[in-house]
Amino acid sequence: MHELIDTEDFDADEELYWPDDYKQIIRQGLPPLVQTTFRQEQTFINIYQRSYQCQFDMYDDFTGWLADMTAIGAENGTDDMFLELHAAMVADAPLPKKRSYARSLLPGFFHSDLQEKIKKALIEEYAQQRAYGHAFDHYDGEYVDFGAFMDDVAELILAGAKKGSEDMLQSIYRSLFLGLPLPPARRRPKRLKKW
């Protein structure tokens, strides 16, 4: 009988992940803005008193939970946009079009300061990745330089974050107003480098 070699630890050491420190900025910067809006406007106070007071001692705890869910939606939105972006790069296709909602459920909560911090972190992290330098070679005629290319990439990922947060807010609002259980909000595992 042949011995089976256990390569699990070796395989795990060989796995490389895309950087995602920019998610810390979303995780720390977005929830306070969302929670402040919910708290100041007492948006869900009646729903909280009717259905969630037994789970959360204070309204602030409840709104903090909703704000964290919104941030998780934003993080997952960036992952979705990276999937689209990477698929386009691998296929040498044009980069995805930047899409956004015509009307925001919480306008202005991605204010310019937060956007700039997220973009700066994205550019710093991903400009170091050889795959992005290689991808730029295929889009060279469309951009003045690598910096302009990375700025466009960061804008796309930021649009993904906004869309992800809006999608989560839509799900939260629908659940609260229809008396349904709140949607699941789970962070995804780190993205493996596959190209």
pLDDT digits (tens, 9 = 90+) for 76-103: 999 999 999 999 999 989 999 887 777 8
Residue 27 lies in a domain: yes
Identify the bridge partners of residue 192 per DSSP, sorted by sequence position: 17
Judged on CB neighbours under 10 Å (0-12, 13-18, 19+), 182 is middle
DSSP state of 192: B
pLDDT digits (tens, 9 = 90+) for 17-46: 999 999 999 999 999 999 999 998 888 999
Residue 158 lies in a domain: yes
pLDDT, averaged across the chain = 90
* Three-state SS sequence of 2-66: CCCCCCHHHHHHHCCECCCCHHHHHHHHHHHHHHHHHHHHCCCHHHHHHHHCCCCCCHHHHHHHH
Residue 10 lies in a domain: no
Residue 26 lies in a domain: yes
Domain of residue 59, residue span: 17-178
Residue 100 confidence (pLDDT): 72
Kindly state the average pLDDT of the residues 63-81: 97
Q: Percentage of the chain with pLDDT > 90?
A: 76
Overall pTM surpassing 0.85 (yes/no): yes
Residue 126 lies in a domain: yes
Residue 24 lies in a domain: yes
Domain count, the chain: 1
